[in-house]
Amino acid sequence: MGVQYGRQCKKLIRSVAKAFDSMLVPEEYREEARDVAKGALSHVKAEAPELIEECEGIAEGCGLPFEDVFRLSCSQELNSWQGCMRKRPINTIVDECTTIAAERNGSSLVAWNMDWWIRWQPYMVLLHGQPDDGPRFLSFAIAGSVGRPGLSESISVGANFLPYRAAPEFAAGGPDWAGAGIPYSFTARMLLAQESTAEALKMLERTKRMACLNYTIGDLGGEICCVETMPEHIAVLRPKDGYITHSNSYHAPEFGGMTMDERAQRDPRCYRAWEVLGRRPKPLSRADIYAAQRSHFPGQSTGVCVHTHGERPSITLLSFVGDVQAQTMWAAYGSPCEHQFLRYDL
């Protein structure tokens, strides 16, 4: 699969690999950042050796060194690490992904808005994996990386970045770094290989990660949840009224998370999605979730569907709703307020 991927996306992969460092890491940190990415290798080998083999295939297919390809799956980690090095003060992030999960007909709908710098838009691809010894999957990826959230035969996964914290007792935006672990891209692919939400939670409990994210998960049996993760800690949030929303702040009480009232002001994209869905009849449909994914704040051009300006302008690069029961992903490439959701079957 890796060789096929590398060959089919050769031009894109080589292009993003060339631009990768300048897009993510200030020049004074670049040499050290390479060692930070290398540190993850042993963790991935121990937990998911098949994904290392896939990276080797991608490298072979596109004609790049393995190290350059492996780093493409470490973008979130390098962003978090250099934030610690610079003591970047972050509490809530305004433009990095919103997720939704809803119970539907005894199964699950899981939705993801991938919000990030507009510079990444040309490098997004949709992988359709058909492994010999695992479930089929659809997963979005930065070209050359092993993947991000998506849909598989038993489960669907969304994710959103959280301010980096080495452990619950450490504040976000400080210099504390927990060290190497499994990068987000590999974690997302490992989650898509699980047979249920319960198995996904066990996987997250036993592994060490390298960045802080929330994973929004739903399975074929209808169990949905959000899982806030730090390198060695997780907190599980359960739905109310059959659905749950999440954005870029901690909500779990054990992580000092925000109450719903606080989210209205300090985590407005999560609150806006929850508010839009709260007005819809239950159970929620794909159309209801589309409405939340496309929504803007009243009187503004940004919202759950992100359109921000400044030094690093951001948009919603893509959106999807994974219907686990139907084995189908509905995805929009680009801002969902401007594009249709197209059907992709497993």
Per the structure, how many domains does the chain have? 2
Neighbours of 172 (CB within 10 A): 21
pLDDT at residue 93 in the model: 59
pLDDT at residue 147 in the model: 97
Residues 176 and 27 in one domain: no
Query: Given phi > 0 = left and psi -120 to 50 = alpha, else beta, which region is 272?
Result: alpha
Residues 79 and 119 in one domain: no
Cα dihedral angle (147, 246, 318, 17), rounded to 10 degrees? -40
Mean pLDDT by 10 residues, the chain (346 residues): 98 96 86 94 97 98 98 94 78 76 97 95 96 96 98 98 94 90 98 98 98 97 98 97 96 94 92 97 97 97 93 93 98 97 98
> What is the span of the domain harbouring residue 52?
2-85
**Chain CA centroid to CA 219, Å:** 17
C-alpha closest to that of 75 among 211, 168, 194, 195: 211
CATH code for the domain of 77: 1.10.10
Domain end residue (candidates: 50, 85, 120): 85
